Amino acid sequence: MWETSRDESLSNLRNKTWLYVGTEQSWQYLANLIHHFPSFCLLDATNHPVSWSLMDPFGAMAHGYTLPQHRRLDPAVRLSSLDVSHADLLNETWVFGGNEKSGKYLASLIRHFPSVCLLDTVGHPVSWTASDLFGAMGPAYTLPQHWGRGYMGMLNNLMAKRLHALGYPSYGNVATENYRMQRLQERQGFQRQPSLCHFIHRVILHISKYQRGSRVSLYPQKQRGVRWHLKD
């Protein structure tokens, strides 16, 4: 069981990784749970927690977390890139998808721009992130039955490195209500840009490898987003 020592490294670790993160009140709440209720954790060679689970005042298991660098990939999945045959799945799960034009747009992104994904034993994607014609990371998604395994964090990191190796800046746009992805970006070292971005999503019917084609069809969806850029 952890001690409630106010060692800065441990208190920050608990507080930074919790969903309701970062305040003095949340630190006091977590310290109280650790002091009064059962908890379990795995420690590394220097006695720093790498994975843990706490119990709350109602006797429920809660506040579990594993540091991303200690998550192991399920041997049943393998790393790959998206294929055009996966466009239908992306179209079903994308917040602006669900029609023929958005399907063509996503297929064009897969054909012409970098992507990474994890495939299950039968070759179906379970988690993925693509990149768009502006060099930004996204669309990205993990199937709900595979949530909590650290897949998106790993793919996000791989995509950032791949774009950087190609000479592009590592950045992405996240919807203002997508708090889960915003927290992930922040933990991975991305820096929130000071102003919101407004996007009108367009469906590109023809995309060359280096520039947009001339035939453009407006896709009438407007989104407010937060722009994130990887710190140097």
**pLDDT tens digits for range 12-36:** 666 667 655 567 787 788 888 888 8
Lowest mean pLDDT among 25-39, 73-87, 103-117, 132-146: 25-39
Q: Looking at the predicted structure, is the pLDDT value of residue 10 above 80?
A: no
| Average pLDDT along the chain | 76
Same domain, 60 and 105: no
What is the domain extent for residue 51? 8-70
pLDDT recorded at residue 217? 32
Examine the fold and report which residue of 70, 99, 118 is the final residue of a domain before the chain moves on: 70
pLDDT recorded at residue 36? 85
Q: Looking at the predicted structure, is the pLDDT value of residue 164 above 70?
A: yes
Same domain, 113 and 222: yes
Q: What is the pLDDT of residues 169-184, one digit of tens each?
A: 888 888 777 888 888 7
Examine the fold and report which residue of 70, 100, 123 is the final residue of a domain before the chain moves on: 70
Q: Looking at the predicted structure, is the pLDDT value of residue 118 above 70?
A: yes
Q: Tell whether 86 is covered by a domain.
A: yes
CB proximity list for 199: less than 8 A, separation 6 or greater: 173, 222, 223, 225
Examine the fold and report which residue of 37, 54, 70 is the final residue of a domain before the chain moves on: 70
Q: What is the DSSP string of 39-55?
A: EEEEE-TTS-EEEEEEE
pLDDT recorded at residue 221? 42
Residue 210 sits in a domain of what CATH number? Answer: 3.40.630.30
Same domain, 21 and 136: no
Same domain, 159 and 49: no
Q: For residues 113 and 28, which has the higher predicted lDDT (pLDDT)? A: 113
Q: Tell whether 167 is covered by a domain.
A: yes
Q: What is the mean pLDDT of residues 177-204?
A: 70
Same domain, 108 and 18: no
Residue with tokens 């927290």: 183
Same domain, 85 and 24: no
Q: What is the mean pLDDT of residues 102-118?
A: 94
Q: Where are the beta strands (DSSP E) in the chain?
A: 39-43, 49-55, 61-66, 78-80, 115-119, 125-131, 137-142, 171-175, 190-204, 216-230
Q: What is the mean pLDDT of residues 78-107?
A: 94
Same domain, 92 and 123: yes
Same domain, 224 and 122: yes
Per-residue pLDDT band for 89 (boundaries 50, 70, 90) equals very high
Q: Looking at the predicted structure, is the pLDDT value of residue 7 above 70?
A: no
Task: Report the range out of 46-55, 188-197, 201-210 with the highest average pLDDT.
Answer: 46-55
Q: Tell whether 205 is covered by a domain.
A: yes
pLDDT recorded at residue 214? 31
Same domain, 82 and 18: no
Residue with tokens 């209720």: 37
Same domain, 65 and 85: no
Lowest mean pLDDT among 39-43, 88-92, 192-196: 192-196
Q: Which amino acid belongs to residue 111?
A: R
pLDDT recorded at residue 204? 41
Q: Tell whether 2 is covered by a domain.
A: no
Q: How far apart are CA 192 and CA 226, in angstroms?
A: 7
- Number of domains forming the structure of the chain: 2
